[in-house]
Amino acid sequence: MDSYFLIPPELPGAGGLALLWRSDIHIQIMSSNQKFIDAVICYKDMKFYSTFVYGAPEIQNRKRVWDHLTSLVDPRSEPWFLTGDFNDLIDNSEKMGGRDRPESSFSTFRTFLSSNDLFDLKHTGNFLSWRGVRHSHTVHCRLDRALANSSWSDLFPYERCHYLQYEGSDHRLVLSVFNASLRKGRRIFRYDRRLRDNPEVLKLVERAWNKDDNSHVMMKISRVRRAIADWSRIHYINSQKSIEDLKAALDTEMGSSTADDVLISNINQKLLQAYRAEEEFWKQRSRQLWLALGDQNTAFFHASTKGRRTRNRISVIENSVGIPVYEDGKIVEVISSYFQDIFTSSNPDPSDIIIRALTPCISEAMNNSLTGLPSPLEIKEALFAIHPDKASGPDGFSASFFQTNWDLVGPALVHEI
């Protein structure tokens, strides 16, 4: 390595810290002590914070390390990556052998993670990274890990870490891999609930829907989707920008020696509406259906959306023999092969299945009720029973669109059904 930063041991025989890097990577050391090295890394026009940690082995000293890190970086909303030997666990599932630890012993480390928006990177290999003997028991624990915050995950969407084999130490090596290459696919249309009260959009929907009365519902929906998508590209609603503009206008007016109270009141009303629109947008994206709007939970909805996006992203998968696969093409092959295997017939005797399937299970009256045409009221009640924030269908429209525009789209839907 071309460059390095060293922290010598405090006592003879104790451990120190060493950070080594190549000359094409720019690293600025922000802070350091015997327990961590905090640095800013710049590489290929990307900048993020990294902290290399050696947690306190003594239980009574661990909280002091986490508090020091929290106070040092608070608030750190920029991309942040941490790795090293944390000497602490989240729960008893990260431990094998010996007695279980009491739940209260995990609270300090959990608080550090939650208060700093930190989560474990996806990993491969055996995460019980340390092996030792306590009394007469052999113990395996997850002392080593790689952590990151939500902003770092956005910068490196395919990040992961690998727990390697033991080699000359009672700790496994932890190899973290950053991959910022994210293929930007075609943007999928999703109906934005904030548009439901926009008079311009409502008129746009009405024109597109009634353009051809003889076309079927799917054609009408396709025209509406195209019209809304075209309108959004020109008049995209950015609540956050509206909030910043209104806050600036309010600050200017409040600071004026000839302030207009009516204008201030109007700006405040518009600012309140912008806050509500921003919160509603992130509530829809987060799919958190249990929390009501108006509770000032925009940050929570935002974090939930990022968390769901991270969970839904497949960056590594194991094939049928347990070998991890990382490339997109090979991930597709593993998934396709799995479903081909489970849906390939092994030529069983279908006689029992056919006999069970042909056995009458319902009465004639039930059959007539089930096969009868639904009434317009039943169709409307079924649609309005769907939560407006539930996932949209393949056409990109959620139940919110059809509920808002029922007077317009209802007759055609009922007729086609």
In SS3 terms, 155-221 reads as HCCCCEEEEEEECCCCEEEEEEECCCCCCCCCCCCCCCHHHHHCHHHHHHHHHHHCCCCCCCHHHHH
Has residue 310 got a pLDDT over 60?
A: no
Has residue 293 got a pLDDT over 50?
A: no
On the 0-12 / 13-18 / 19+ scale of CB atoms within 10 A, 120 is middle
Domain boundaries, the chain: 3-177
Give the position of tokens 């609603």.
Answer: 237
CA dihedral (74, 77, 81, 84) in degrees, to 10, reads 20
Instruction: Please report which helix (H) or strand (E) contains residue 147, including its range.
Output: strand 144-149
Give the per-residue pLDDT at 94: 92
Has residue 146 got a pLDDT over 90?
A: yes
Closest by Cα among 202, 192, 198, 406 to 283:
192
CB-CB contact of 34 with 44 (8 Å): no
* Cα gap 126→7, rounded to integer Å: 29
What is the tens place of the pLDDT at every residue in 324-334? 887 778 888 89
What is the tens place of the pLDDT at every residue in 40-99? 999 888 889 999 999 988 888 899 999 998 887 766 778 999 999 999 999 999 999 888
Within 8 A by CB and 6+ apart from 179, the residues are 156, 157, 158, 159
CATH for the stretch 3-177 = 3.60.10.10
CB-CB contact of 325 with 319 (8 Å): yes
* Cα gap 318→113, rounded to integer Å: 28
Query: How is the chain split among helix, strand and coil, in percent rounded to 5?
Result: 45, 20, 35
DSSP assignment string, 17-43: EEEEE-TTSEEEEEEE-SSEEEEEEEE
Closest by Cα among 111, 115, 34 to 80:
115
The tokens describing 68, both together, are 């020091």
pLDDT tier for residue 288 given thresholds of 50, 70 and 90: very low
Give the best-scoring range by mean pLDDT among 32-41, 131-140, 291-300.
32-41
What is the tens place of the pLDDT at every residue in 380-408? 999 999 988 777 778 888 888 888 889 99
* Cα gap 89→110, rounded to integer Å: 9
The tokens describing 217, both together, are 């519902």
On the 0-12 / 13-18 / 19+ scale of CB atoms within 10 A, 35 is buried
Instruction: Please report which helix (H) or strand (E) contains residue 395, including its range.
Output: none
Work out the average pLDDT over 235-261.
73
Question: Sign of torsion, CA 149 153 155 158?
Answer: positive
